[in-house]
Amino acid sequence: MKKIIQSALCAALILGLNACANNEGASNVGNSEATNAKTVVTEEELGLRKENLYTEQGIEPVKADFTKPAPGMSKKFARSYENAPPLIPHSVEGMLPITKNNNACLGCHTPEVAKSMGATPIPKTHFMDFRSQKMLDHLAQQRFNCSQCHVPQANVKPLVENKFQPDYRNPNEKQKSNLIDTLNEGVR
């Protein structure tokens, strides 16, 4: 008799849950109709961009106040986190597009001349072929396009409030990369 009652209770529970899932018996679950009415979310509501996601017509980029000073004349923004690619603190007018045969960044950021130019030197990771795990005496072919990771710094209002504060293991990492030393951290 006890098993029959337990089976009946389980069946009732399962049927009740199915009824709620199918919106039957909604009166037993509170104001479920109001809740279910808002469960439909449009694609435009999912992200920060509120325009039609299937066209670029009428879409304008964010109005940004890009840094205008010439190289060496502007204040650098802090890195976003340890080993983050630093932002470009100067105008890139006339320097883009970067190609394998035309890269104006190398004139100031090559390690041999960077200090005398007051520029951030290209880190050792850019002189490493990750496929062969060998250091090179020239810029790795995969790293010629600086603007793939580095972007001009700009004063823009964040779309979402961000309270993130980077935690550097070493204060020097605010100014330079130690990625070559920590590349395989946690892998071995």
Average pLDDT over residues 87-99: 89
Evaluate whether residue 47 is within a structural domain: no
Q: Say if residue 157 is in the same domain as residue 90.
A: yes
The answer to which of 45-54, 78-87, 130-139 has the lowest mean pLDDT is 45-54
**In sequence order, what DSSP letters do the residues of 55-110 get, joined into one string?**
--TT------EE--SPTTSSPPPPPSSTTPPPPB-S--TTT-S--SS--TTHHHHS
Tens of pLDDT, residue by residue over 106-143, are 999 999 999 999 888 999 999 999 999 899 999 999 99
Instruction: Please give the share of the chain, as a percent, with pLDDT higher than 70.
Output: 78
pLDDT at 60 over 80: no
Q: Say if residue 74 is in the same domain as residue 160.
A: yes
Evaluate whether residue 50 is within a structural domain: no
The backbone torsions φ and ψ at residue 134, rounded to the nearest 5 degrees and listed phi first, read -115, 145
Q: Say if residue 31 is in the same domain as residue 109.
A: no
The backbone torsions φ and ψ at residue 20, rounded to the nearest 5 degrees and listed phi first, read -65, -40
Question: What pLDDT shows up at residue 5?
Answer: 52
User: 152 in helix, strand or coil?
Assistant: strand
Q: Which residue segment(s) compose the domain that 109 sits in?
A: 62-178
Q: Say if residue 118 is in the same domain as residue 168.
A: yes
Q: Say if residue 82 is in the same domain as residue 33.
A: no
pLDDT at 181 over 80: yes
Give the mean pLDDT of the chain.
Answer: 79
Evaluate whether residue 52 is within a structural domain: no
Evaluate whether residue 49 is within a structural domain: no
Rounded to the nearest angstrom, the gap between the alpha carbon of residue 37 and the centroid of all alpha carbons in its chain is 33
The structure tokens 């130019």 sit at: 117
Q: Say if residue 68 is in the same domain as residue 138.
A: yes
Q: How many domains does the chain have?
A: 2
User: CATH code at 78?
Assistant: 1.10.1130.10
Q: Say if residue 72 is in the same domain as residue 107.
A: yes
For residue 71, name the pLDDT band (cuts at 50, 70, 90).
confident
pLDDT at 104 over 90: yes
pLDDT at 105 over 90: yes
- The residues that bridge with 129 in the sheet, in sequence order, are 134
Question: What pLDDT shows up at residue 1?
Answer: 52
